[in-house]
Amino acid sequence: MQQSVLEIKNFSLGLEIDRKTYSVLKDINFSFFKGKIHAIVGESGCGKTMSVMSILKLLPKNSKFLGGKILFEGKNILELDERDMREIRGRKIALIPQDPMTSLNPLYTVENQLLETIMLHNDVSKERALDIALKTLESVEFKDAQKRIKAYPHELSGGMKQRVIIAMALAANADILIADEPTTALDVTIQAQILKLLEKIKEQGRTIILITHDLGVVARYSDDISIMYLGRVVERAQSDMLFKHPRHPYTKALIEALPVKKGKKLKNIKGQPSPVTEPVLGCPFHPRCERADDRCRAACPGLKNIDNTDVACYHPL
């Protein structure tokens, strides 16, 4: 059995709002494996980004750890101080942020920003750092790297900016990359190029955690998928299995909302997720679920394995 390189175990997180703590992540579990893309999918506000930012301990000041562990290299990340975290961030676990348009400093060239990252995490000369920077840019298919490394961010397209950001994550040779909605601000053609690039990086033996609200984006490129809803993991399976036979009504509804065939009417999911300040009793999806009954409204189901799929539902499909 393959050993995980990072685990989130029974983890819960709250946010303090007006002196009251509201639970935003509820007893979540993830296992991430070497050389795999694990996609975390769900609607905005479901807890995807909060889950991965907990790994890096980059959370709002009003956040509170309510329980659980995040295990990496035999240590619980939640117990590490800021000095120890600086050894992990960037060097071992790197973040590819959501918006390439605003993630680069507009006052510095690509070269300046790459050299700063490389020299921060590696004991190398400036000449050696420049060599690493150029090779890393070439590895992410950044065209004319020798010339365009002198460019400022405003001189680059959205796709080229995203490549620079990925290069910065790779430059420190991190084993785990967290890609938070890496294709959101890009057009469809560039989206496919970036996803293929992440797939290529995965094949080098790196672990990629891919955050997205679009199940269609991850259909071809992910190995494992976790579906989140209102701070909980409601379904987890290998990618091909999840698309062939979704077990949770929410997962099925997401798949049916994908624009697959021309002329096919898209199905929408009725209602809206409840705000964090109005916690739902029972299964969090029951107010929007056609299969819900009194049991669903009374108690929240835990994850149960059915034919290699983990699903949190009293009436799985």
Sign of the CA dihedral with 209 first, then 212, 218, and 219 last? positive
pLDDT tens for 254-290 read 998 887 766 667 788 889 999 988 989 999 999 999 9
Per DSSP, 204 falls in state: T
User: Percent of the chain, pLDDT > 70?
Assistant: 98
In percent, the amount of the chain with pLDDT more than 90 equals: 78
Say what the pLDDT of residue 263 is: 66
Instruction: Return the pLDDT at 120.
Output: 87
Q: Which residues of 117-146 are buried (b: 16+ CB within 10 A; e: fewer)?
A: bbbebeeeeeeebbebbbebbebbbbeebe
Sheet containing 37-41, strands listed edge to edge, beginning at the edge strand earlier in sequence: 93-96, 176-180, 207-212, 37-41, 224-229, 232-238, 309-311, 304-306
Half-sphere exposure of 213 (CA within 13 A, CB side): 9
Q: What is the pLDDT of residues 13-57, one digit of tens each?
A: 999 999 999 999 999 999 999 999 999 999 988 999 999 999 999
